[in-house]
Structure 1
Amino acid sequence: MSGAIVIGASGGIGKALVEALIEEERAVRGFARSFAGADHIDLEDEASIAAAAARSGSPDLVIVATGLLHEGENGPEKALRDLDPAWLARIFAINTIGPALIAKHFLPVMPKTGRCVFAVLSARVGSITDNRLGGWHGYRASKAALNQIIRTIAIEEKRRNDRLIVVGLHPGTVDTALSKPFQRSGRDLFAADRAAVQLLDVIDDLKAADSGKVFAWDGAEVPA
């Protein structure tokens, strides 16, 4: 691969992905809402997303490393009584609608021939099949919706370039600000730099038939 784009370069995983790609001597450009050294992009402003895509050239790798789990006093719901419409709208705006709009504007500028990858950070808790504990209603639903969008986009993009791969990636529990309040002792916890390398290894091994699926950090497919 040559040109790469990382959206969400200000986050723990996003920044580590940029650094790992540089280490691999790939040309990489980072986008973030507010971060020194990165170009500007705002997931809640479609014009900002369109402008970012227009100045991105023709990247053969785009990674969307954004996500929202908690903010201020808002966080994962423990029960149905905790649902709040404003928080649901906010979490869907960042976890689902933002990545969908990035796909809308960035996929058309990616090459029309040859192997390309458009990858979005998802989460295992977005799996409906794997949901055995309940709770985390908004986050689970926003990631499940994201996974459906990934699948739908993959089908459409195959008609444009049958070697373009659209996937979701579950990075595991990574030591970042997003997971900090929910880290538990005894659970595998990856440093951001290790998580980035693991995700890039998964990307490197992807085949055209993998498009539309979600894969964990170890390359195992996450059930829908």
Structure 2
Amino acid sequence: MRVLIVEDDDSVASALGDALRATGHDVDRVDSGVDALLRHHDRDVVLLDLGLRDGDGFDVLRKLRQVSRTPVLVVTARSDERSTVRALHLGADDYVVKPIRLRELLARIDAVTRRRPASSTQADLVHTNGVTIDLAARTVVARDGTPVPLTAKEFALLAVLARRIGTAVSRQQILDEVWGDAFAAASRSFDVHLTQVRSKLPSAELITTIRGFGYRLEA
């Protein structure tokens, strides 16, 4: 299992990482909230400390939950009920108080990853309003067979919407999946690429803006 440790104490992170690797896990470690938001994408579970060098882990948890359903276990020295309840309300899957008991932590990791429903398999071909989007081949073709020439970034943006066709997708989630950071200065680039995608599709109305939230590819 691919584990991301978010911990700013080097000794704690090293001991935890070594223990998890010894049990067969692929472990990556970061020591800041900013890096956690950049590196969570390819991980199966996140172990999140609440006291980080660049801010509060609660804020990191809130931002993660805006863009990702990756299981998050809060691993912290804070044992008070208020912190536990707040973390769970913000979307943590479990709460573990230090000092860590490895066997218990492993069991909790297994439990939260089992509870997550498996993602539904997406069809490679998405058909909508005279456009065929081939997610595997990374091509877009209009009804008359004319290819729609999208750049790699433009296609990635469209693909995020196509995988959830008919469903509202937040701006932050698109930024997270395409640019790798929902909270960095990629917003201007996002706007430019979205405008380009709309201009190249047969109809700009294929992508609906949901004010204050995000966008939807119409089915």
Bigger proportion of residues as strand: 2
- TM-score (normalised: structure 1): 0.41
Which of the pair has more CA radius of gyration?
2
Output the TM-score relative to the length of structure 2: 0.42
